[in-house]
Structure 1
């Protein structure tokens, strides 16, 4: 099922949404993609396999994919994106949903849980972090220096702009995002289907893009008591795995599942184990 749904006025914003569809026994799972100048398509596999038990909802964020683009740069903010997601739940008639946020989407998912209490039933924070990333988090990891060099060159030396720059950086970063060499060709095929944009990049370049991270996130999530799965690849080169382990200690309702031989795109490196962790978590009984 595909649709465009109105989620905002002043400015008018329509989100492109695909979903596996509601039905008896299918609980809603809202999936928030990262990037943010990507679309949702790189997360469809393996999550579409949950369709027997879940109505999996994949929106493209404002400025991304087939959702509204061309807004003034000050309209691309984490607060605005979070407001869109609340409005989307309203438009779908959902008082509550399970939420999976990936990478940058994991930061938005935390905002949604904290700032719209009661709307998030369970929370999966995938390949993201709750505590801030220390500046020295990756010091001394020579393999990361080697694998991230190509993407760093794109950002620092490229004459490309807009979606072309976002796309080039994604391809250049493939070896850093995917740990297992045998999964790289399939990942690049996945990237070929992504509708990259440069809308959030415009806001970042203009200096108008605030941090998506909420203050004192661990304490605020702990106070909510929402069940949380921190799903992470051991070789993640964007968000250090130690932060997932740290958050699982700081938040009593959270637990970390760390996948070996998996990078930032852990769902690409280890699709079966990644999906099994999500499935198990979503089928657990909620606390009374």
Structure 2
């Protein structure tokens, strides 16, 4: 279903993104930006693969992630650099505007992309992410996150092994429905984790991904925006969706019940239907 290739997006430094593409009309292209960021795109292939044919799906691994270029200097990993890569990638796809779906950390990059290259973005989906900042006291010390926190503090773990262990330990917090958890763990088995972005993050040199005044700037841009969220998301509060919709006239929100941060795993049919409806 997916053709896989590498696309050069930067010569200084040399960066090649691994990109999976499906068949579909070029005028109905959906660019999908994964989260993590030290993950790859594969955990998002389902249920999005069901849109292939009606849409041309384009799923890259960000620089330093998955099968894209790794081993760059720490200062080469930044939201600005990742956004520039995506703008260049869009240039290789043609001149027609594309739809963009960003998931979690990728939702923050999707906003940056829409603001950096508004002429290239037709519609925007911010999934399991937020436009507004997460309040410091939004969650407090969640017991659901204790297992994941222990992994990050474990001195015996490092590199991609630490990233993978944290993802597995955080699975019960990210997937709300117990019967969906085994499927999610199988998805994680297939993810090619890295730790490239983790290095500058732990060193305190990684710039934050959030765009200042994002709500006001997206409102001025007027791009049709879907905020797609799980009610039980323990990373980005669902309450931010309603607040954002009030601030951005071109935005609408869909909050799925019985769904956590990985809402596409908890409620795949409803999640996909919301995406398809927004792109119609």
TM over 0.5: yes
Match of 2:260 in 1: 263
Within-5 A mapping of 1:8-157: 8-23=10-25, 27-139=28-140, 145-157=142-154
Match of 2:163 in 1: 166
Equivalent in 187, 212, 215 of residue 212 of structure 2 = 215
Shift of 1:263: 0.1
Structure 1 unpaired stretches of 5+: 284-288
Match of 2:186 in 1: 189
TM-score by length of 1: 0.94
- CA distance in structure 1 between the partners assigned to 2:242 and 2:274 by the alignment: 16
Count of aligned pairs? 278
- Are 2:6 and 1:4 aligned? yes
TM-score by length of 2: 0.97
Match of 2:195 in 1: 198
Shift of 1:112: 0.4
Match of 1:225 in 2: 222
Shift of 1:259: 0.1
Shift of 1:207: 2.0
Q: Is the 1:38–1:64 contact (alpha carbons within 8 Å) kept by the matching residues of 2?
A: yes
- CA distance in structure 2 between the partners assigned to 1:269 and 1:227 by the alignment: 25
- CA distance in structure 2 between the partners assigned to 1:251 and 1:35 by the alignment: 26
Shift of 1:82: 0.1
Match of 1:252 in 2: 249
Equivalent in 205, 217, 238 of residue 235 of structure 2 = 238
- CA distance in structure 1 between the partners assigned to 2:103 and 2:142 by the alignment: 23
- CA distance in structure 2 between the partners assigned to 1:101 and 1:118 by the alignment: 17
Shift of 1:158: 4.3
Shift of 1:153: 1.0
Q: Is the 2:264–2:272 contact (alpha carbons within 8 Å) kept by the matching residues of 1?
A: yes
Shift of 1:156: 1.8
Match of 1:286 in 2: none
Q: Per-residue CA shift, 1:114-159, capped at 9, x if unaligned? A: 12121111000000000100111124xxxx8232110011112342
Following TM superposition, where does structure 1 have runs of at least 4 consecutive aligned residues deviating by more than 2 angstroms? 21-24
CA RMSD of aligned residues (A): 1.2
Q: Is the 1:89–1:95 contact (alpha carbons within 8 Å) kept by the matching residues of 2?
A: no
- CA distance in structure 1 between the partners assigned to 2:242 and 2:222 by the alignment: 18
The answer to which of 144-153 and 248-257 deviates more is 144-153
Alpha carbons of 1:34 and 1:6: their partners in 2 closer, same or farther (altered >3 Å)?
same
Shift of 1:23: 3.5
Q: Is the 2:24–2:54 contact (alpha carbons within 8 Å) kept by the matching residues of 1?
A: no
- CA distance in structure 1 between the partners assigned to 2:207 and 2:172 by the alignment: 28
